[in-house]
Structure formats: structure tokens, C-alpha cells
């Protein structure tokens, strides 16, 4: 499965897989897959599902990809930063999101996640299809045709 889909669609997909004539039906395996997907959809949303981040004092902090260098010597700080970034990147569940940095005239900046899907959030919110405050769990995003990363696909296999 490469896309985030509704629970109903997932149940139908798994049922078809288990009803294939060449595969013996194992109700425990079937039920286990469905429960696993249900648990996946019930995860509360966080920024780290979309871009590499770490949680610092209850706040998600976006991590910048460390600059690559050809220098053979790497200090401990650089090694730690590379490892931290790669681990955060490996936890990302959805493809297609990136961080944009906006600089302010006083020299400070703020990061925001460039999410094309926000257009859909706004569109549906304006048509009263759903309220943005209702988007709290992964299940809230199933209508957005999100592509799962290999990490997310592995969680579901």
C-alpha cells in the first residue's frame, strides 16, 4: 500500500488479499493487519510525520539537513547532527512535504512546512466539509491522497 486510505478501503483490500484462492485464510493474521492499520490511523498528528523534526520541551523543532562536506575529519557534533537528522527523516510518514524558511528584516527567521495539502484543508473548511480543528489524527487525512514513505509502509506490513 503506497497511499493513506480509509479504514473501510483498507478492510476491503485486506479481505480481497485473504480471499485469493491460492492463499489459505488465517483469521488471526487478517484481524491483526486490520488492528495494526486502525492503530496507525489513530496516531495523533505531529510535525515529525511530515518533515524531519525533534521534540524539544514539548515543541516540535524542524531539523535542517546538515551540510555535506568532503572533509575527511568530522567532529562529534557533526556526526551527532547527521545521525539525529537521519533518524528524524526515517520517522517521516508522508512524502511531498518540505520546510521553507522565511527571514524577517530584523535578522530572525521562522520555518513553515510547505504543504500543498493546506489548500485542500482551506477549500474543504470553507465549504464546511470539515473543520480544520477536527484534523487531529492520521485518519482525518485519508481524503488527501497522501503518499506513504517506506517507513510508514513498513509499519503497516
Residue 131: its pLDDT value, please?
47
> pLDDT above 90 covers what percent of the chain?
24
State the Cα–Cα distance between residues 140 and 6, nearest whole angstrom.
9
The mean per-residue pLDDT over the stretch 73-85 comes to: 81
Q: What is the pLDDT of residues 19-70, one digit of tens each?
A: 777 767 778 888 899 999 999 999 888 888 888 988 888 887 888 888 776 6
Higher per-residue confidence, 119 vs 111: 111
Higher per-residue confidence, 49 vs 135: 49
Which of 82-91, 109-118, 125-134 shows the lowest per-residue confidence on average (mean pLDDT)? 125-134
Residue 100: its pLDDT value, please?
67
Residues 122 and 130 sit within 8 Å (Cβ to Cβ): no
pLDDT at 124 over 60: no
Please give the model's pTM, rounded to 2 decimal places: 0.73
Residue 121: its pLDDT value, please?
45
pLDDT at 81 over 90: no
Which residues, in sequence order, are bridge partners of residue 102? 110
pLDDT at 126 over 60: no
Q: What angle do CA 48, 115, 82 make, to 5 degrees?
A: 40
Amino acid at each position: 500500500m503506497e497511499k493513506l486510505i480509509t479504514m473501510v478501503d483498507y478492510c476491503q483490500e485486506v479481505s480481497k488479499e485473504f480471499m485469493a484462492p491460492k492463499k489459505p485464510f488465517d483469521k488471526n493474521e487478517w484481524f491483526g493487519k486490520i488492528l495494526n492499520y486502525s492503530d496507525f490511523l489513530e496516531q495523533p498528528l505531529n510535525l515529525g510525520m511530515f518533515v524531519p523534526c525533534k521534540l524539544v520541551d514539548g515543541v516540535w523543532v524542524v531539523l535542517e539537513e546538515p551540510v555535506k562536506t568532503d572533509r575527511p575529519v568530522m567532529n562529534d557534533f557533526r556526526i551527532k547532527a547527521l545521525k539525529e537528522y537521519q533518524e528524524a527523516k526515517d520517522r517521516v510518514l508522508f512524502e511531498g512535504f518540505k520546510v521553507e524558511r522565511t527571514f524577517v528584516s530584523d535578522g530572525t527567521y521562522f520555518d513553515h512546512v510547505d504543504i500543498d495539502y493546506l489548500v485542500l484543508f482551506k477549500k474543504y473548511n470553507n465549504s464546511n466539509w470539515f473543520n480544520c480543528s477536527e484534523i487531529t489524527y492520521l485518519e482525518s487525512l485519508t481524503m488527501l491522497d497522501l503518499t506513504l514513505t517506506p517507513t510508514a509502509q513498513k509499519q503497516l506490513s
